[in-house]
Structure 1
């Protein structure tokens, strides 16, 4: 068996993305990218949430790749489109409650973008989308959910973790589970094999 000598850096602080790659048997290190996400969002068309996810992923991959030419750098980001606009992470439990209440009985879309950079250049990028159908949950459930999750839900763009109690918020999901968690894993693995980071 030919050894794999290529290094991979994940340019993301997301615990969910780290766990996905670790569970898939991918060896990598983590270096959080220094990117002004707000500036990128302000320049981007808010109607193009999928495009923004890719743009943020590309910016993160490039920011780290410019400082480590030899490594392959994986950048990733996720955006949430709802009611014709972009949704950002809630800043408080009150804001999270209001948002989840507004999503009740409706559909929103999660866009997970990823990009692979090498030698300071983007060599691949892509995005995948999942449609999330929120059920008509009661106010009592919403209060119990917020109490159980606490401030941890403020780190998630939709104020939920599908791998946790947040799964109870939904009646159906149309899309890939990994995409919901924040990474289009299957296309990423294809590109890592192509790059020689993983055995083909």
Structure 2
């Protein structure tokens, strides 16, 4: 059995490697992310992660597949990845000085067995000036991230406070995923211990 990440996100791959999962194959799901208005944000991220997982698992039923999807919510509006610098500026202005929620849905599948869950983290931004927004966008960092910021990079300078799983905001709720993997017989702590003993 191989472990497959159904995402091209380098951040998710890095987090899995930090969990001790180094023998990892990456097969990004190609399906379109279609927002369903009838779903709440937590239901939506779960559904999107399920779709990604099912797409990759269809061709690799003997392997364990992990998929995730992250969205930002503020005032009932869902923010995905910005489509342009102007879109990123609008998102950052909306988040400025305010509390928002970051949701990540994660699905693990092996054969006919699937487990899906989500994590929610509250994040408060400091008040941003127009110059702050322009400078941050100039770093290029916001363009491939839900909500137009990366808490693990320069975006950390925008965050005043956080309540919940920090790694959830990066794109993968590590603690929740570890508990899910244990239910499939994969213990990330055991893998991490083996990895450290080899080095």
Scaled to the shorter chain, the TM-score interval is 0.7 to 0.9
Which runs of 5 or more residues in structure 2 are unaligned?
192-199
| Count of matched residue positions in the alignment of Structure 1 and Structure 2 | 188
1:131 aligns with 122
SS in 1 for 2:147: coil
- 1:17-45 Cα shifts (integer Å, max 9, x gaps): 0010012211321111132212xx1x342
Asked if 1 retains the 8 angstrom alpha-carbon contact of 2:136 and 2:142, the reply is no
For residues 81 and 96 of structure 1, the distance between their equivalents in structure 2, rounded to whole angstroms, comes to: 14
Which of 15, 18, 24 is residue 23 of structure 1 equivalent to? 18
For residues 76 and 113 of structure 2, the distance between their equivalents in structure 1, rounded to whole angstroms, comes to: 30
Asked if 2 retains the 8 angstrom alpha-carbon contact of 1:76 and 1:113, the reply is yes
Which of 180, 190, 196 is residue 191 of structure 1 equivalent to? 180
Does residue 33 of structure 2 align to residue 37 of structure 1? Answer: yes
Asked if 2 retains the 8 angstrom alpha-carbon contact of 1:50 and 1:79, the reply is no
The within-5 A match list for 1:49-128 is: 49-119=41-111, 121-128=112-119
For residues 169 and 31 of structure 1, the distance between their equivalents in structure 2, rounded to whole angstroms, comes to: 32
Which runs of 5 or more residues in structure 1 are unaligned?
1-5
Asked if 2 retains the 8 angstrom alpha-carbon contact of 1:7 and 1:197, the reply is no
Asked if 2 retains the 8 angstrom alpha-carbon contact of 1:8 and 1:72, the reply is yes
- 1:155-196 Cα shifts (integer Å, max 9, x gaps): 001111111110111211111111111111112112223323
For residues 121 and 154 of structure 2, the distance between their equivalents in structure 1, rounded to whole angstroms, comes to: 19
In the TM superposition, what is the alpha-carbon distance from 1:130 to its structure 2 partner? 0.6
Please give the TM-score of this superposition, normalised by the length of structure 1. 0.87
> Please, what is the CA RMSD of the aligned residues?
1.6
In the TM superposition, what is the alpha-carbon distance from 1:197 to its structure 2 partner? 3.1
